[in-house]
Each structure stands twice: as C-alpha cells, then as structure tokens.
C-alpha cells in the first residue's frame, strides 16, 4: 500500500518540492495550504488532494488531517512546514507617550503555534494508523533557530521554539507510538519567504539549494536510518546534526531529566 504524506505549506517552495519528490516515489500526497489556487494546482499535478487550511486555526488544521485520514486511511508522514517571516519592524518607534500598538505576532502563530498543533494532530492520527508502525514528523525550523536573527526576532524566537518542542516530544513519541520526530534547520533558500530584493543580499555560495533540503527530509523519513529526535542544520550542500546544549553540571542534568514524562 502506498504511503501517505500530509504537507502544510505544500502549495509552493520547500513544501511543494518535498511533496513533488515523494509523489515521484509513489506516495499519496495531501496538501494543506491557505492558497487555494496554488494548492489545488499542486495537488492536481501530483494526483493528490488539497485542503484549504489556515494553520493558525485549529478547526481548519484538524479538518485537513481528518479529511486526509478519511481519504487514504492512514498518515505516514507529516511535514510541519508552513511558515512566514515577520514584516513589521520590531524596533519601530512611535511618537505617542502612551502604549504602542501590539506587535504583529502572526509569525509566532504560524512558525511555532501551528507547528505544535500540527505535531499534536500527527500524534493522534499516526496512533490510528492500521499498520501500527507509527510515522514520521518533520518540522521546519531554521538556522535562525540556533543563531540570533536581529532583523526578525519573533521569527527567530519561534524557530528556537520548534527545536525545543521537537527535542521535548521526540523520546515519548518514539518509545510509545513509534513516531519519529525530527526538525530541519535550513539556511537561506530561494523561496517566497524572501523578496527578490532581499535575495540580492546573498551571494550564490550562501544559498542552500532546495534540492539539498529535500534530500535531508527524505533521509529523516527513511526507515532504515531510524532517525528520531534529530535537529539537522543545512547550509549550502552540507548538513550537520546539531546536538542539544551540554548540561552545565550534574545537578542541572538531574533537574531536567526529572521532567521526563516516564519519571512523572
């Protein structure tokens, strides 16, 4: 039986590239994206299905999962990939002596909160898979998730959060439900996340090819490698497994290991 992939942000860019590659290998594809025209066209070209999805709305996101499961009877891979970069300056000055307007937190809603909700739903539906083999969750973080990004601090904070979420759930997901959770940390890619003007700030050697990121995603999906709890930085044509920070001392190790759900 063909395997099934659900891809958020799958109508363009990296999401579409991963969906296209998997479809070429015989996977059935479900695209969840806010762009109806692009999403429908992508799904049609891949002989998959499309669900217009607002990933920041739990009902909309959960409906995409339910319809995918109803259509195919299983979900083997979820790519939590939808993302944006904040466009308003966090450092903007306001003349009034009163409180400034609230910051636009949409990047946090999409880049972190929706990733958590996607992981939550992946856990549920992969538990229902009739083959009992769990599945794979790959979440898109960024190199801005391990390095500071002053231009887009909320984006960077959200991407740091994706790494923390992945590392925190990975052990329980794997030991209890055979779900392998990993995160990718791509460098700058030529996608709609940046404008063409912003593209000009980078030299050719500073780009990370989308094809390389697709290769890493498929490496994480591959059952024979059995990767789980990994965070993989991707720069240019190279990838690097990034380990969590070392504990400062034995006491801190004990404190943090006490948060293991198996100990509670």
Is residue 247 among the annotated active site residues?
A: no
First to last CA, the chain: 39
Name the active-site residue from 159, 171, 174, 212. 159
Q: Tell me the C-alpha distance between 140 and 144, whole Å.
A: 11
Cβ-Cβ contacts under 8 Å for 93 (sequence gap 6 or more) = none
- Which two three-digit tokens encode residue 261? 């759900």
Task: Give the Cα separation of 181 and 174 in Å (integer).
Answer: 8
Residue found under tokens 């409180």: 99
Residue 140 CA from chain centroid, whole number: 3
User: What is the CB-side half-sphere exposure of residue 75 using CA atoms within 13 A?
Assistant: 26
- SS3 of residue 183 by DSSP: strand
Catalytic residue among 3, 28, 125, 155: 155
CA distance 13 to 191: 5
CB 138 within 8 A of CB 115: no
- Tell the residue number behind the tokens 């943090």, with chain if given: 256
Task: Compute CA 63 distance to the chain's CA centroid, rounded to the nearest angstrom.
Answer: 18
The question of whether 159 is a catalytic residue gets the answer yes
Q: Which residues are catalytic?
A: 155, 159
């Amino acid at each position: 039986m063909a395997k099934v992939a659900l891809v958020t942000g799958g109508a363009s860019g990296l999401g579409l590239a991963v969906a296209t590659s998997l479809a070429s290998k015989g996977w059935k594809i479900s695209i969840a994206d806010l762009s109806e025209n692009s999403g429908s066209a992508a799904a049609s070209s891949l002989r998959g299905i499309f669900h217009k999805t607002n990933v920041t709305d739990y009902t909309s996101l959960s409906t995409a999962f339910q319809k995918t499961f109803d259509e195919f009877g299983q979900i083997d891979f979820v790519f939590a990939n939808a993302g944006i970069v904040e466009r308003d300056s966090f450092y903007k000055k306001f003349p009034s002596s009163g409180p400034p307007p609230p910051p636009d937190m949409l990047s946090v809603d999409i880049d972190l909160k929706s990733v958590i909700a996607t992981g939550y739903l992946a856990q549920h539906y992969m538990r229902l898979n009739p083959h009992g083999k769990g599945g794979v969750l790959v979440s898109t973080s960024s190199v801005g998730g391990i390095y500071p990004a002053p231009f887009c601090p909320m984006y960077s904070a959200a991407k740091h959060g994706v790494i923390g979420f992945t590392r925190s759930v990975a052990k329980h997901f794997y030991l209890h439900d055979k779900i392998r959770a990993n995160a990718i940390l791509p460098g700058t890619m030529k996608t709609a996340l940046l404008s063409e003007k912003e593209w000009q700030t980078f030299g050719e050697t500073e780009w990370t090819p989308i094809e390389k990121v697709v290769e890493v995603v498929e490496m994480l999906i591959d059952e024979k490698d059995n990767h789980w709890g990994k965070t993989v930085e991707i720069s240019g044509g190279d990838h690097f497994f990034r380990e969590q920070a070392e504990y400062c001392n034995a006491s801190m190790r004990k404190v943090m290991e006490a948060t293991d759900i198996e100990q509670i």
